[in-house]
Amino acid sequence: MSIENDRPAAPVSSTSIVVLTLARRIETELNAVLAPLDLTVNRLGLLAHIAAVPGASFSDLARMSGITVQSMHTAVKALAGAGLVRDNTARAGSASTIEVTPEGARLLGAAQAAVTEVDERMFGPAADPIQRQVGDAVRAAFSNR
């Protein structure tokens, strides 16, 4: 028991558990702001991969996303059905080149604004000081890449 407030002290946790817990909170927040855009964190990630690597193949995207090529075909088909990407395959059996459509690019812009809102809420000046430190550390760790 803590003498100051009669509550038990927080248990010592592993870094992995703390980061995983924070990641789940962030994912929940992101999915909430992305839902009105008909996006999820995973769907946004795929759309962003396609935008970042114009002409990427299904195999390339599957490797970047850590899923099977078959699952990638399904995911890209869903994005194409929503008008967010197009597959510029010349003919069956040839390599695919997948690209974001203008609608997909517009949606990516709207999603970035939503992600910025979550970043601000979770790691901005009004956020919990420890979360601000985590945000600063993550930005610093990846700023030189």
Tokens for 92?
A: 């069956």
Q: What is the mean pLDDT of residues 67-96?
A: 84
Which of 39-48, 85-94, 109-118, 134-143 is least confident? 85-94
This prediction has a pTM of 0.79
What is residue 57's predicted lDDT score, i.e. its pLDDT?
Answer: 83
- The residue with tokens 């890449």 is 145
CA distance 33 to 40: 9
Which range in 22-36, 58-72, 84-98 is most confidently predicted, on average pLDDT? 22-36
Three-state DSSP state, 133: helix
* Residue 85 parent element (H or E): strand 85-87
Q: Is the pLDDT of residue 4 over 50?
A: no
Residue 55's pLDDT band, with cuts at 50, 70 and 90, is confident
Higher pLDDT, 24 or 94: 24
Tokens for 97?
A: 């080149």
Higher pLDDT, 115 or 145: 115
Q: What whole-number percentage of the chain has pLDDT above 70?
A: 87
Q: Is 85 left (phi over 0), alpha (psi -120 to 50) or beta?
A: beta
Q: Are 37 and 111 in contact (CB under 8 A)?
A: yes
CA distance 94 to 102: 24
The CATH number assigned to the domain with range 40-139 reads 1.10.10.10
Q: Where are the domains of the chain?
A: 40-139
What is residue 56's predicted lDDT score, i.e. its pLDDT?
Answer: 82
Strands (E), the chain: 85-87, 98-100
Residue 1's pLDDT band, with cuts at 50, 70 and 90, is very low
CA distance 140 to 126: 20
Q: Which letter does DSSP use for residue 88 in this model? A: -
Q: Is the pLDDT of residue 16 over 70?
A: yes
